Amino acid sequence: MYNIGVDLGGTNIAAGVVDETGQILLKSSISTRPERDYHEIIHDMAVLIYGLIDEGGYKLADIASIGIGCPGAVDKKRGKVIFASNLFWYHVPIQALLQDYLNLPVYLENDATVAGSAEYLFGACQGTENAITLTLGTGVGSGMILNGQLYSGSHGAGAHLGHMIVELDGIPCACGNKGCWEQYVSATALVREGQKAVKESPESLIANLAGHDFRKVTAKMVLDAAKEKDPAAVMIFERYIRYLAMGMITIINAFDPEVIAIGGGVSHAGDFLLQPLCEEVEKHIIYKDVAHARICLAQLGNDAGIIGAAMLGRINR
C-alpha cells in the first residue's frame, strides 16, 4: 500500500506517490492558478492524483490515503481549509469535495507542519522527541514535533512561529500585526533590505548583482554579496543573523527541543548561514552546561511537503 501526498501551494500543486519508507516513487505538479473558483482547483487536484495512479500503473486499491498539506488555518477534524490568504480560500470543505472524486480517506494538515513531520520521520529530526523545522522562505513556516507527536494547536491556527512578535510596533506584517519574526528573518526580509541598499548604496555589490534595478534583488544576491564582504550586504546579513538568533533563543527557551532544522530558500546558504547563527545563539544560552538544541539544515528540501502530507494517513488515528 502507498500513500499519496499533496503539497497545495499558491503557485503550484505538487503530488507524489510515497512508500512506507518515505520514498517518493512518482511525482507530478500543476499550476494552482488560485484566481479560479476552488471547485475547479480541487477538480484539477483529483485529475493530478488520478494521473499519478495511471502513470505508475497502480490501482486505486493500492493507495491507502491522500494527505494534503494546506497553507493557512486548517480545521482537520471537519476537513476544511478555514482561511488561506494566498489561495483566497475561506471555509473550503476540501476533504468532502476531493472525496467526491476519490473514495479514499483524505487527511489535512498545515503545510509547514507536514514538512516538519517529514523531517522528523525521514530527515534532519529523526530519532528525536521534540523537534522544530523552520522554513525560511517567502514567509517563515514552522512544523513542530513535541513529545513525539505532531503539534498544530487547538484550532488549526497554531505553530506559526513566523508570527512570534519580536518588536513592539515593529515592521508591519501581512497578518495585520507589527513586528512579526518573519518580517526580520524570511527571504522576503532579505529582499526588502537588499532593495533599500540598491537605492541607498548604489556602489554596493548588491546593486551590481541586481543590475542597479531594485526590483531584481533576490535573497541569494544579498547573501552572495555578504559572502564577498560587501559592506552593505554584511550589515544586512549581520542584522539578519541577530534577529534569527533572537527567535532561536526564544524557541529554545520556550520549547527546549533536541533539534531545530532550517529549510527554505535561505537555508541554501548552508554553513555561511549556520556558522554565525550557531555562534550567536551560543552566546545567549541560559544554562551553559546543559545540553541544548542542535541547529542544523533540513534534509528533504521541497519534497518534505509531499512526504509529510502522504504520511498523515500513517500517523493519524
Burial of residue 254 (number of CB atoms within 10 Å: 0-12, 13-18, 19+): exposed
Answer yes or no whether residue 93 interacts with a copy of itself by CB under 8 A.
no
- Of 83, 69, 94, the closest CA to residue 8 belongs to 69
- Which residues from 10-69 bind a copy of itself, rule CB under 8 A? none
Smaller CB distance to a copy of itself: residue 113 or 204? 113
Residue 76 CA from chain centroid, whole number = 18
149 binds a copy of itself (CB under 8 A): yes
Q: Which three cell numbers stand for residue 40?
A: 475547479
Nearer to a copy of itself, 219 or 259 (CB): 259
One of 104, 167, 208, 299 touching a copy of itself (CB under 8 A) = 167
Question: Is residue 140 at the binding interface for a copy of itself, with CB under 8 A as the rule?
Answer: no
CA-to-CA separations, 190 to 65, 77, 136, 203, in angstroms, rounded: 39, 37, 11, 18
Closest to a copy of itself by CB, 80 or 206: 80
What is the C-alpha separation between 110 and 73, in angstroms, rounded?
A: 7
Nearer to a copy of itself, 2 or 181 (CB): 181
Q: Please tell me the distance from the alpha carbon of residue 288 to that of residue 304, in angstroms, as a whole number.
A: 33
Q: Does 81 bind a copy of itself (CB under 8 A)?
A: no
Q: Which of 45, 49, 63, 73 binds a copy of itself (CB under 8 A)?
A: 73
Burial of 48 (C-beta count, 10 Å sphere; 0-12/13-18/19+) = middle
Q: Give min distance, CB of 72 to a copy of itself, in A.
A: 8
Q: Give me the residues that bind a copy of itself (CB under 8 A), please.
A: 73, 82-83, 128-130, 146-147, 149, 151-161, 163-168, 175-177, 179, 242-243, 246-247, 249-250, 252-258, 284, 286-287, 289-293
